[in-house]
């Protein structure tokens, strides 16, 4: 399980594979200076509710991966997540779609806004 730490005050655990895809989308948007919300369903141990944060390029965010290898990115999933990030409701997790070919493991995926 990887961790996303937001503004040094909120830490949330995500599977490393999920976190790799989220970090790709979040980094792409923040690199362009875009602000947006990110929402997720909380773990039942944390109250089983929902949490939303406002992501802004000036607010620190850390992605901590615990696996030794970077997951292969699914381009279709990155694009699906980017669509949610560009929507009025903001970024939220969607199911991983099938992928024809794996993206390169360099961490760069061509994402179109």
In a domain, 42, yes or no: yes
Q: For the segment 43-101, what is each residue's pLDDT rounded down to a tens digit?
A: 888 778 999 999 999 999 999 999 888 889 999 999 999 999 999 999 999 999 987 65
Q: For the segment 24-36, what is each residue's pLDDT rounded down to a tens digit?
A: 999 999 999 999 9
Question: In whole angstroms, what is the distance from residue 111 CA to residue 63 CA?
Answer: 19
Amino acid 113: pLDDT = 40
Amino acid 104: pLDDT = 53
Find the distance separating the first CA and the last CA of the chain, reported in whole Å: 28
In a domain, 11, yes or no: yes
| Domain interval for residue 18 | 2-92
Amino acid 45: pLDDT = 82
Q: Does 105 have pLDDT greater than 60? A: no
Amino acid 13: pLDDT = 93
Amino acid 109: pLDDT = 46
Amino acid 99: pLDDT = 73
Q: 20 by DSSP, 3-state: which?
A: helix
In a domain, 113, yes or no: no
In a domain, 21, yes or no: yes
Residues 37/102, Cβ–Cβ less than 8 Å: no
In a domain, 111, yes or no: no
Amino acid 43: pLDDT = 82
Amino acid 69: pLDDT = 87
In a domain, 112, yes or no: no
Number of domains in the chain: 1
In a domain, 77, yes or no: yes
In a domain, 70, yes or no: yes
């Amino acid at each position: 399980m990887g961790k996303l730490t937001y503004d040094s005050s909120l830490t949330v655990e995500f599977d490393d594979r999920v976190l790799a895809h989220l970090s790709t989308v979040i980094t792409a948007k923040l690199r362009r200076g875009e602000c947006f919300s990110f929402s997720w369903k909380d773990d039942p141990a944390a109250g089983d509710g929902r949490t939303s944060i406002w992501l802004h390029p000036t607010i620190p965010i850390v992605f901590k991966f615990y696996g030794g290898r970077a997951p292969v990115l699914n381009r279709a999933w990155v694009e699906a997540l980017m669509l949610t990030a560009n929507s009025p409701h903001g970024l939220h997790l969607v199911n991983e779609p099938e992928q024809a070919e794996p993206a390169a493991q360099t961490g760069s995926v061509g994402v179109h806004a």
